[in-house]
Copies of this chain bind each other. A is one copy, B any other.
Amino acid sequence: MKSDIDRLMDAAQVEAILVIGPAQHNPAMYYFTGGGHISHATLVKRRGQEAVLFHATMERDEAAKTGLVTRDLSEYRLQELLNKADGDMTRATVMRYQKMLADLDLTQVRVALYGRVEAGETFALFSALQEVMPDLEFVGSMDDSLLLQARATKEEKEVERIRKMGIITTQVVGQVADYLTSQRVKGGILVKADGEPLTIGEVKKKINLWLAERGAENPEGTIFAIGKDAGIPHSAGEPEDLLRTGQTIVFDIFPCETGGGYFYDFTRTWCLGFAPDEVQALYEDVHTVYQQIMGELVADEHCPVFQQRACELFEAKGHPTIHSDAQTQSGYVHSLGHGLGLNVHERPWFKRNASPEDKLIPGSVVTIEPGLYYPERGMGMRLEDTVWVRPDGAMEVLAAYPLDLVLPLKGA
């Protein structure tokens, strides 16, 4: 959590954190600013000091609302720098950063770089800045980010926001279940009151609407995939597909707070009307592994231990897994879960090669999502809940919802 940042900076020998980009849909900036209508900013946090937010003049009120120490970027007179740089914006911006960093006395230190921004601009900018400030070292990495490590554990007020998104999510899931079960069945497909078949595209529109009604955003879309599509973990579902009885539907929903804040992540697998024996048998395997793993979660344990355990359990039931065959696309083919917060997917990781720090530290919020996929048999299933590792080490599902496979239909 935030209170760990200085210690983690110290451990990583990082003197400052530099975050760039907007405040919305940019997790690192959101983490410090709490969002807001800030389109371009730079935030610098020195070890042991408060963060400073450099903002555009037009956004001074929004910057002030963050409660951070603020500095108006207009102090750095970009137009004059642009004249000096013969109109080259990259060079002018490099000069501005030089001044800003010098003003903060950051000239001979390691600086960790963050922010969801354009790759080419950023690479050009920081390569050039590195050249003119050779004693400054910009660091970043694909897996050992100190900020992601800090964010891997949450303060209770963050957990409450995630829980609130969980309640919204499960309310909408309930609405979808009610909506589906209130339709009629004709020739094995759901039809609406007007006799026309219901499509997955229509269901997804309802999902977006019901999320918006509750003040949530859905920036990454929803997986609502039936039959063969359900057999591929990240197939989102075809809008024109119909809702056939007796086929598996994987419904994976991961909305966030309006303005790009905290996410929730949740999956249920449904069969409309009835489940064929083959589906029922597979579902029981997933359900058993889900229950078993949920019961075995222990605070402070290394997350990949549970991935290994899930593989053992599935293999004992005769399913191939990515541990028995790294390339398999049938059986259990993905990671058991992941951390959740301002990103849908964040630390701690459960994958085999996760770092030693990827543990169920109290304060972690993680998903647990075992699944089985048999695309060649036209089926797939997954059960996912989001779990908070409480300060006392107990595990708590943040928004409970029934695990039933079959959605009973009228006259099916």
Contact = CB atoms under 8 A, between A and B. Distances in A.
Contacts of A124: 139-142
Contacts of A36: 236
Contact of A258 (B115, B208, B352): B208
A258 B221 CA distance: 8
A139 to B, nearest CB: 7
Interface string A207-240: 0110111010111110100000100111110000
A326 B211 CA distance: 44
A60 interface: yes
A116 B117 contact: yes
B120 A37 contact: no
In order of increasing CB-CB distance, the 7 nearest A-B pairs are: A120-B140, A212-B212, A37-B236, A113-B120, A124-B140, A89-B142, A89-B143
Given A21-B119, A217-B219, 11 more contacts: A24-B219, A37-B220, A62-B236, A90-B143, A113-B120, A115-B118, A120-B138, A122-B122, A123-B140, A212-B212, A221-B258
A127 B125 contact: no
A308 B321 CA distance: 65
A248 interface: no
Contacts of A326: 77, 79
A364 interface: no
B334 A58 contact: yes
Contacts of A209: 209, 212-213
B121 A141 contact: yes
A329 interface: yes
A126 interface: yes
B61 A142 contact: no
A189 interface: no
Interface of A: 20-22, 24-25, 28, 36-37, 39, 56-62, 74, 77, 79, 82, 87-90, 93, 112-127, 138-143, 145, 205, 208-209, 211-213, 215, 217-221, 223, 229, 232-236, 258-260, 326-327, 329, 333-334, 345, 352-353, 355
Contact of A212 (B24, B143, B208, B236): B208
Nearest to A235: B61
Nearest to A59: B234
A232 B37 CA distance: 12
A138 B119 CA distance: 11
Nearest to A208: B212
Nearest to A352: B79
B123 A113 contact: yes
